[in-house]
Structure formats: structure tokens, C-alpha cells
Amino acid sequence: MDAIRGFDASRGIKFKTYCSTRIRGAILDQLRSQDWVPRLVRLKASRIDRALQRLTAEYGREPTHAELARVLEMEHGDLVNEIQESRAKTMFSLSEKWEDDDGSVEKVEILEDKTATDPVHELNRRDLMNFITRALTHKERFIIEQYYQYGHTMREIGEMLALTESRVCQIHSNVMSRLKGLLGQRHESLLS
């Protein structure tokens, strides 16, 4: 209707040509308004894509990031950031339902929490730590647990135990030597 109202026959343009251009423009405007990616990011992505296609045709292979960055006159890190920003993301409805034997389940009910620790892995790790450190003294076990399980530095562990950093390192080295020897013996007994 907008195209009909805006059409001027005195310009000598066919209505079909005018109308198709206006409709195409309206469709693009609507799509852009619903796009979650800013237009500048889309422009940068298309520039990178054109350069990628040109270099692929020129070299007969896909260009390296360094070659692409050089042609685009960009730093390697900036190119990587722009590629990641422009990567298409897929959106899903979390209220969409899946049918299974027990009835319907919403997607939100089965989302994986990638930040959560796997309980089986955590139990295996804890059991392994207990097995490895069971023959150690309290101080040796504390040093190993603090260093490997909690990520403390030797200096921090020394402060907790009122020892120097070098003494903690020495105890750690002695424990590691004993554990390597113990594991070596177990490995040999398993092979024989």
C-alpha cells in the first residue's frame, strides 16, 4: 500500500520495478530490525568474507590468518576478534518441548551447566588423592593437597605451615620422588 501511495507514473518507471524495490527494502529493514548483530559487525564480516574468497581463489587454498590479516591491514588479534564477533549464533526456544516415554520435557529442564563439576570425576579425583597420599605424614599430605588440589603457591603453603618457601619445596620434592618410586614399583608389579 505504501508503494501504491508513493508511486509517481510521471517519472517513467514501471510500477512493477518501483514496487519490487520498495518491498525488498521493507523486507530488509524488517530483518535488520530483528538482527541481534550490529550492522557494523555485519559489514566487517562481509569484508573479511570477500577477502577470504578472493585469497582462496588466488592461492588455490584457504589463506592463513596471517595472510588474511596482512591483506586486510589488521593485527592478527583484531582479525580473530572480528571473526568471533561475526560468527552466527543460533537461538533456541527454551520452552520448546521434546516428547519422550514419560511425556513431554522442556529444553530448559535438560540444559547442561558447563561450569558445574562432574560429581563422578570429583569423587574419582578425591579417591585417587586419598590413595596416593595415605602413606604420607600430615604435613606432607597438607602440602600436596594445597598445591595440587587448591592451587596454592609454595610460598602461601609455607606461610600456612610457618615454614620457608624453600623448605616447602624440599618437602614437596622428597614426596614426589617417593611417590614416583612407589608408582614405578606398582607399574612393574602389574607388568609381571
CATH 1.10.10 fits 37-87, yes or no: yes
Nearest alpha-carbon partner for 167 in 132, 145, 146, 139: 139
pLDDT band at residue 153 using 50, 70 and 90 as cut-offs: very high
**For 178-190, how does the pLDDT look when each residue is reduced to its tens digit (9 = 90+)?**
888 877 776 666 5
Find which of 7-21, 89-103, 148-162 is predicted with most confidence, using mean pLDDT. 148-162
Asked if 37-87 and 119-191 have one fold, the answer is yes
Positive or negative, the CA dihedral 76, 80, 86, 87 is positive
Distance from C-alpha of 180 to C-alpha of 43, rounded to nearest angstrom: 57
In terms of pLDDT, which residue wins out, 115 or 154? 154
Average pLDDT of the segment spanning 158-181:
92
User: Alpha-carbon distance 25 to 7, whole Å?
Assistant: 15
Q: Which CATH number fits domain 119-191: 3.20.20.70, 1.10.10.10, 1.10.357.10, 2.60.40.10?
A: 1.10.10.10
For the chain, domain boundaries: 1-34, 37-87, 119-191
| CB-based burial, 95-108: b 16+ in 10 Å, e otherwise | eeeeeeeeeeeeee
Average pLDDT, the chain: 82
Q: What average pLDDT does range 146-173 have in this prediction?
A: 93
First to last CA, the chain: 88
- Kindly state the average pLDDT of the residues 102-116: 71
CB atoms closer than 10 angstroms to residue 48: 19
Segment 144-163 mean pLDDT? 92
Q: Would you give the distance in Å from CA 176 to the centre of its chain? A: 34
Separation CA 148–CA 135 (nearest Å): 17
Residue 125, C-alpha cell as written in the block? 579425583
The predicted-structure confidence for 28-80, as pLDDT tens digits, reads as follows: 888 878 777 777 877 888 888 898 899 899 888 888 888 888 888 988 888 88
pTM: 0.40
Report the distance separating Cα 41 and Cα 89, nearest Å.
Answer: 13
